[in-house]
Amino acid sequence: MLKKLRVRNLAIVEESEAAFGDGLTVVTGETGAGKSVFMGALALALGARADATDVRDGAKEARVEAEFALAPADAATAAVFAVLDEQGLPPCEDGLLLVRRVISAAGGSRVWVNDAAATVQTLKALGAKLVGVHGPNDHLALADENRQRELLDAYGATPTEAYARAWGDLSSLRAERDALSEGGDVAEECERLRYAVSEIDAAGLAEEDETELPARHAEAAHAAEFVEDARLATEALGGDEGSAANAFAAARGAFARMAKYHPLADEWARTLDALAVEAQELSRSVDEAASRADADPEAFAALDERLSLVMKLKRKYAVRTVGELLALRDTRAERLADLEGRDAKIAALDGKIAAAEAVVAKTGAALSAARKKAGAKLCKLVTQELHGLGFLQAGFSVALEPRPADATGLDRVVWFFEPNPGESARPLAAIASSGEIARVMLAVQAVLAEHASLPVMVFDEIDSNVGGETGRAVGLKLRAVARHRQVIAITHLPQTAAHGTRHFVVSKAVSGGRTRSAIREVSAAARVDEIARMLGGAGDVVRRHAEELLLQATQ
């Protein structure tokens, strides 16, 4: 339960603290006194969005602290411990969960849980395990069919998870099939791919077409000039009549004569002999190359055609090398194989989809049956609660209308309300009276409260638009809910406030030119004064009426 709430420099609250207890706690006060500020403070402690404008004028920061006492061996306590463990936060000492939030006037906020830094998301996770807040506009949400379905599922603990898994599997398979079916004319694409692969395969390409083919083509293109130049070179280099041979002979004779008087001449002669041998080897190499040169026009034509084919394929498929062309061929062959196997894949998926649809139908039927059972029980209990709230002849029903399967099941869930016998039952969304819908909402929450695991429930003026005897009925109902968990009710009705086991009053005062709001617990005479104020005035008659309300509430 919520034990303490401390607020500092939040809106018109300079500093205030409230200590709460078991049972039904009511909070009252004049309009504008600051009840909404304290509700906002609790919301901040539960992870609500913070705004720098919430900080009191002139203060650097606002601070909210909440202290929760956790019951041992309780489902909510186990859930809180799980969140703390998951986030690596300190455990609760003596069963106390401490939450602190600081909002800066410069923007942003900081969070601590059990004196360790935490995040707003962690606060939200903890708050969801501890506190349920129901405001005056909850009836608007209650009129939404999605909310009705969610509440019914929560109340009946229906097998929504099993259905969700089945629907998720089916949706994934359908998406996979749709993806395979997309992409336009598959036959046309297959034909294009098949032609590209066959065209590249027919070319018989190899890496040599990138390196050797251009060189061989260039050589063949100039074969005649090469043979003629080679002939001239070999003539100059080779044989006894070659110009090189004549030059070597002349130089050899000169070195022989020079050897008589110069010691290096013999070495020069030996070097010259070596050069002569190299020249002869060079002549033979050129001659052999010339003999291999192919000046055949047909051979050149074949090379030219081959090179033209390679260049044409490169341009056509927008690649730079033969290697890229071969890689493109492989990619298109893989795509072709994938497309050609698509029909088989689709057929296999169709089989899986049929099986998944059967699972959806089975789990959906189980979900519908559970909803029908839960709906019948909910109808009976809510109708009883409505009788206690002044609708003595009212009826409440839950209709399940079959519809095609979707993510939520096989049903459309609609709640109906029949205020008086003989009148047609109407969907909650069609109820015009805010007083009626508020009481329906309270009746539903009273039933759900007995089955919820939340240890704290906060009702913020849910008795708006009702009064008199109905207000007393609302108070009784809130007290009944408080038998199962801590209930905090902000109310404007004296008939409701009289049923609180503890009573807090929010008031504001002006001092030193500043408005300050505070919350304090009242009892005995001070509580009679507050009930009398809520009844509309002062005086002995009003006070006696207030005393009677308090006395009746204890009986």
| Chain mean position to CA 12 | 38
pLDDT range class, residue 220, cuts 50, 70, 90:
low
Round to whole Å and give the CA distance between 261 and 265. 9
Same domain for 78 and 18? yes
Residue 454 sits at the vertex; the CA angle it makes with 449 and 460, to the nearest 5 degrees, is 65
Same domain for 195 and 336? yes
Task: Give percent of the chain with pLDDT exceeding 90.
Answer: 43
**Within 10 A of 243 (CB to CB), how many other CB atoms are there?**
10
- Predicted TM-score (pTM) of the model is 0.62
Same domain for 197 and 294? yes
Name the residue among 146, 158, 154 with its Cα closest to residue 366: 158
Same domain for 119 and 196? no
Same domain for 224 and 334? yes
Q: Do the domain assignments include residue 213?
A: yes
Number of domains in the chain: 2
* Phi, psi for 159 (deg, rounded to 5): -75, 60
Q: Do the domain assignments include residue 364?
A: no
Q: Is 510 a residue whose pLDDT tops 80?
A: yes
What is the model's pLDDT at position 370? 96
Round to whole Å and give the CA distance between 332 and 194. 8
Round to whole Å and give the CA distance between 169 and 407. 11
Same domain for 250 and 327? yes
**Within 10 A of 63 (CB to CB), how many other CB atoms are there?**
19
Same domain for 256 and 321? yes
Q: Do the domain assignments include residue 406?
A: no
Range of the domain at 478: 1-134+454-522
pLDDT digits (tens, 9 = 90+) for 285-307: 777 766 666 556 676 677 778 88
Beta bridge partners of 97: 68
Round to whole Å and give the CA distance between 485 and 77. 13
Local structure of residue 130 (DSSP, 8 states): H
Last residue of a domain, one of 340, 365, 394: 340
Which H/E stretch holds residue 380?
A: helix 342-388
* Phi, psi for 418 (deg, rounded to 5): -120, 100
Q: Is 415 a residue whose pLDDT tops 80?
A: yes
CATH code of residue 9? 3.40.50.300
Same domain for 65 and 198? no
Q: Do the domain assignments include residue 291?
A: yes
pLDDT range class, residue 152, cuts 50, 70, 90:
very high
pLDDT digits (tens, 9 = 90+) for 480-498: 888 888 999 999 889 999 9
Local structure of residue 394 (DSSP, 8 states): -
Q: Is 235 a residue whose pLDDT tops 80?
A: no
Same domain for 262 and 329? yes
Same domain for 2 and 130? yes
Residue 326 burial (10 A CB sphere; 0-12, 13-18, 19+)? middle
Q: Do the domain assignments include residue 389?
A: no
Round to whole Å and give the CA distance between 394 and 425. 10
Which amino acid, one-letter code, is at 34? G
Same domain for 250 and 316? yes
Local structure of residue 34 (DSSP, 8 states): S
Q: Is 85 a residue whose pLDDT tops 60?
A: yes
Tokens 């999605």 belong to 146
Same domain for 214 and 299? yes
Q: Do the domain assignments include residue 126?
A: yes
The CA distances from residue 429 to 414, 436, 449, in Å, are 9, 12, 22
Q: Do the domain assignments include residue 211?
A: yes
Residue 42 sits at the vertex; the CA angle it makes with 47 and 152, to the nearest 5 degrees, is 70
What is the model's pLDDT at position 23? 92
